[in-house]
Amino acid sequence: MRVAIYARVSTDDKGQDPENQLRQLRAWCASAGHQVIREYVDHASGGKGAEKRPEFAAMLADAHRRQFDLVLCWALDRLSREGMVPTVLHLQRLASYGVGFHSYTEPMLSTDNEMVRDIVLAVMASLAKIERQKISERTRAGMERVRQHGSKSGKAIGRPSISDRTRTRIVEMLAAGTGIRATARAVGTGNETVHRIAREMRMAAVG
């Protein structure tokens, strides 16, 4: 089987070394008699999409061209930490290309076995739907609390330079559990702005 190895280390943790992942992934391929076509390594947060992870984007493009049969990762969160919905979409995209996914440390989440692939994707898709619904509910509740808090205090929420769309995106990401720095990077604003909106959300929730 032709295998593409994808490894990712976060830029926030200087102590990480992709070689720690790659060494064991290569050994797994060798023991199984698989051919490693290419190794793709990103130094980036897993919360970023393909546009921010060049090697991930290259891997998807090569998968579309069927240059390999399987994508091998150390764990599912090495492939993506964008949330359940985007992760399932990535796996479905690979499956549509006829490319399987194998998690070295979580074989139960792998899709390279045709007998269990549809089951795994169906279960994950169901979980993604639940997550999407919960995020939507938390976002609506969070926005309403922030609006009510802003009305009571007589203060505008956020800086004037931030659009309603950006503010909504910040609340949505915070409600989904995304960190301050990751949220700020994703929307292109400062950490303090996100901190301030997070404080407003907390105050609105208890007040």
Q: What is the mean pLDDT of residues 167-171?
A: 83
Residue 128, number of CB atoms within 10 A of its CB: 19
Q: Look at residue 69 in the predicted model and tell me its pLDDT.
A: 95
| Range in 19-28, 57-66, 116-125, 139-148 with the lowest mean pLDDT | 116-125
Nearest to 4 by CA among 80, 53, 56: 56
Please give the tally of structural domains in the chain. 2
Q: What is the mean pLDDT of residues 182-193?
A: 88
What is the band of 44 on the pLDDT scale with cuts at 50, 70, 90? confident
What does 102-143 look like in DSSP terms, one character per residue? EESS-GGG---SHHHHHHHHHHHHHHHHHHHHHHHHHHHHHH
pLDDT digits (tens, 9 = 90+) for 54-100: 999 999 999 999 999 999 999 888 888 777 777 878 888 898 899 99
Rounded to whole angstroms, how far apart are CA atoms 177 and 14? 23
Rounded to whole angstroms, how far apart are CA atoms 120 and 109? 7
Q: Look at residue 117 in the predicted model and tell me its pLDDT.
A: 58
Rounded to whole angstroms, how far apart are CA atoms 184 and 194? 6
Say if residue 48 is in the same domain as residue 144.
no
Q: Look at residue 147 in the predicted model and tell me its pLDDT.
A: 64
Say if residue 65 is in the same domain as residue 147.
no
| Domain enclosing residue 197, as ranges | 133-206
CATH of the domain at 45: 3.40.50.1390
- Those residues whose C-beta lies under 8 Å from the C-beta of residue 112, and which sit 6 or more positions away, are 70, 100, 101, 102
Sign for the pseudo-dihedral over CA of 12, 15, 16, 19: positive
Taking 50 as the threshold, does the pLDDT of residue 138 lie above it? yes
pLDDT digits (tens, 9 = 90+) for 170-179: 887 887 778 8
What is the band of 22 on the pLDDT scale with cuts at 50, 70, 90? very high
| Range in 2-11, 24-33, 105-114, 174-183 with the lowest mean pLDDT | 105-114
pLDDT digits (tens, 9 = 90+) for 104-124: 988 777 777 665 556 665 665
Say if residue 156 is in the same domain as residue 72.
no
Say if residue 108 is in the same domain as residue 153.
no
Say if residue 108 is in the same domain as residue 187.
no
